[in-house]
Structure 1
Amino acid sequence: MTILVDADACPVKEEIYRVAERHGAHVRVVSNQVFRVPVSERVKRVTVSDAFDAADDWIAEAAGPRTLVVTGDILLADRALKAGATVLAHTGKPFDAASMGGAVATRAILADLRAGMDGPLGGSGGGPAPFRKEDRSRFLQALDRELVRLSRAVR
């Protein structure tokens, strides 16, 4: 099993390393910046170019049935699901084929709304909600659950 991490904005990298070690999973930390990763044969840093969506493209191409992708990017989640991967947001929310159409549509609507905003927020909206302790706990539970499920599917 391999965990592919969309690392640039991922607040749960340390948690991923710990849970992956416990399950014997490999981790690929993918970004266009250099991140420090633990010294481990199971954890590898993948630094891609700073071209638009280079990290997303690498993850989407590497995704498959024995991979778990961690991302907050809805469009990357959609691509990874289509490749057969299991996908979790860093809040622990699972992405699945049933919810993806609505998520992509909502993303497009919100992007259009932000683009038309005037005032102090401009086109930026307000950004995502702050990351909370409950999100971290929910992520840890979901990651453990999905790694157990993936390991059983292999047997």
Structure 2
Amino acid sequence: MNIWVDADACPGVIKETLFRAAQRTGLMLTLVANHGMRTPKAANIRMLQVPSGFDVADNEIVKRAEAGDLVITADIPLASEVIAKGAHALSPRGERFTKDNIGGRLNMRDFMDSLRGSGIDTGGPPPLSQQDRHAFAAELDKAIAQSA
């Protein structure tokens, strides 16, 4: 299993958790973003910088992810695409996206996008909490154990 990270919007504390997991397990971890970022010096951790542009990083992840890989993203359409390829998707808040729940999540995302498009302020997600961090770490550990 390779781990792919939609790194432009991934919180730093989640990246740190991923770095520790990659160093502990030896799994390949690739951060994909349209700007450079620091990563630990390790043979199994790399940064893939893509050109700026709408969904360029997402498209690169979809292109490279394979069945059984794990993609870390809060982007619902990206999660849907990698799930269709047989990969797994996990949000930085520890929510697993699956074939069973991704359709509903896409519908809700589209509905909220329509509301925002009509001028309604829907707010944004709450800040990442300590509970979210623990949920992410627990789900990451489960995904790694299941891949072994």
Aligned residue in 1 for 2:5: 5
Q: TM-score, normalised by structure 2?
A: 0.95
How far is the alpha carbon of 1:136 from its aligned partner?
A: 0.4
- Matches of 2:68 and 2:25 in 1, distance apart? 13
1:108 to 86, 110, 117: 110
The answer on 1:140 being equivalent to 2:118 is no
8 Å Cα contact 2:23/2:42 also seen in 1? no
TM alignment of 1:8-19, pairs within 5 A: 8-11=8-11, 12-19=14-21
How far is the alpha carbon of 1:24 from its aligned partner?
A: 1.6
Aligned residue in 2 for 1:45: 47
The answer on 1:150 being equivalent to 2:143 is no
Aligned-residue sequence identity (percent) comes to 36
Structure 1's unaligned 5+ residue stretches are: none
- Matches of 2:56 and 2:45 in 1, distance apart? 20
How far is the alpha carbon of 1:64 from its aligned partner?
A: 1.4
Structure 2's unaligned 5+ residue stretches are: none
Partner-residue secondary structure (3-state), 2:78: helix
TM alignment of 1:78-93, pairs within 5 A: 78-93=80-95
**Which has the greater radius of gyration?**
1
Would you identify which runs of 4 or more consecutive aligned residues in structure 1 move more than 6 Å?
none
How far is the alpha carbon of 1:117 from its aligned partner?
A: 2.1
Letter matched to residue 5 of structure 2: V
1:130 to 127, 132, 146: 127
Aligned residue in 2 for 1:95: 97
- Matches of 2:45 and 2:26 in 1, distance apart? 11
Which segment drifts farther, 38-47 or 14-23? 14-23
- Matches of 2:87 and 2:77 in 1, distance apart? 14
Partner-residue secondary structure (3-state), 1:27: strand
Q: TM-score, normalised by structure 1?
A: 0.91
